[in-house]
Amino acid sequence: MKAGAALLLAALTLAAQPRLLTNAKLETRSAALGLEREFRALLAAEPQPAWIGWSVPSVRSYSLGCEYVSHDGWAAPGVIHLEPPDRAVILFRVVNRSLERIRALSPDCEIDAGGVPVHWLNDVKPPESVALLAGLAADAEIAGNGALGAIAMHDDAAADDALDRFAAAGQPEEIRRRAIGWLGSARGSHGLETLRSLLSGDASPALRVRTIGAIANSRQPDALNLLIATARNDRDPQVQRRAISALGNLPAGKGVPVLIEIAQTSKSVDMRKHAMNALQQTHDPRALGFFEQVLQ
């Protein structure tokens, strides 16, 4: 290994930067006096395009993976995490003094900077990182470029508060939909409780359907009970149908017993038919046994 590359990798390790950053014009500075101040200075700096990045403690999420990379012309997967990483690298692409893209990656990923400057900030406080991203997510154009997903990766209560605000009434519907999705997939028990509140509130049917999808993606044990209760008793048939479909898609056939019960006992012909359709898609032996009984 060349001496320069060795020194670069050593610096990356000490500064908690990505473990393998290549083809980068690297500059480091401290954000101890305020992340917003340093970020805005870099946003206005030349030359561009450039990347700005830092690392924060992360929730344990499989969303932090690595893209497929190519070695000697052959496609090979990046790092496969048997257990999710506990830190996230937050990266911002800057072009013409404006923000173009936001990414959240595992610190284990091989990152090729394409020869452009990479400004790495040390001493970043997680609440300041969330606050900066939340300010960017308020812009509809930036919201589509990863701000909410990056917020969701932070292992900090500030991330819960920010996503709750973006999921609340009064926000643009597309931002609400994205925040709801991240609350289910990344924010654990807090996220599930927020989704429960949204489901029982006065949200539009479309957003309540989106909330069911987010609940189905939650790893919390009580998510199944919430889906079951919604499939049985929700006031909106559209939401009930989405909950029934979600039960059919749960791993290991967890929703099959409830689907059989709904198919047998629901007072709604439509819900019984929907439950039977969901059962058919599971290919579960218990579902096949149920259909045999119905035919007999």
* Chain segment 253-293, per-residue pLDDT in tens: 999 999 999 999 999 999 999 999 999 999 999 999 999 88
Residue 140: pLDDT band with limits 50, 70, 90:
low
- In the prediction, which pLDDT does 107 show? 87
Look at residue 43 and give its three-state secondary structure. Answer: helix
Q: Which of 12-16, 90-94, 275-279 has the lowest mean pLDDT?
A: 12-16
Does residue 156 fall inside a structural domain? no
In this prediction, residue 79 has a pLDDT band, given cuts at 50, 70 and 90, of low
Residue 227: enclosing H or E segment and its boundaries? helix 222-233
pTM of the predicted model, to two decimals?
Answer: 0.86
**Is residue 12's pLDDT more than 50?**
no
Residue range 214-220: average pLDDT?
A: 95
Does residue 208 lie in a domain region?
no
pLDDT number for residue 9: 44
- Strongest mean pLDDT among 74-83, 90-99, 210-219: 210-219
Lowest mean pLDDT among 117-126, 129-138, 139-148, 256-265: 139-148
Taking CB atoms within 8 Å and a gap of at least 24, the contacts of 231-239 are 231/258, 231/262, 231/271, 231/275, 232/258, 232/262, 232/266, 236/205, 236/208, 237/268, 237/270, 237/271, 238/205, 238/209, 239/199, 239/205, 239/208, 239/209, 239/212
In one letter, which amino acid is 198? L
pLDDT in tens, 222-262: 999 999 999 999 999 999 999 999 999 999 999 999 999 99
Instruction: Examine residue 53 and state whether it is found in any structural domain, yes or no.
Output: yes
To the nearest whole percent, how much of the chain has pLDDT over 90?
A: 65
In a domain, 105, yes or no: yes
| pLDDT beyond 80 at 51 | yes
Range of the domain at 85: 1-124
Among 181, 167, 151, which Cα is nearest to 58's? 151
**Residue 174: inside a domain:** no
Please determine, for residue 10, whether its predicted confidence score (pLDDT) is greater than 60: no
Helices 256-265 and 269-282 pack at an angle, to 10 degrees, of: 150
The answer to whether position 223 is within a domain reads no
Residue 106 pLDDT class (50, 70, 90 cuts): confident
pLDDT at 175 over 90: yes
Residue type present at position 166? F
**Tally of domains within the chain:** 1
Is 144 a member of any domain? no
285 domain-assigned? no
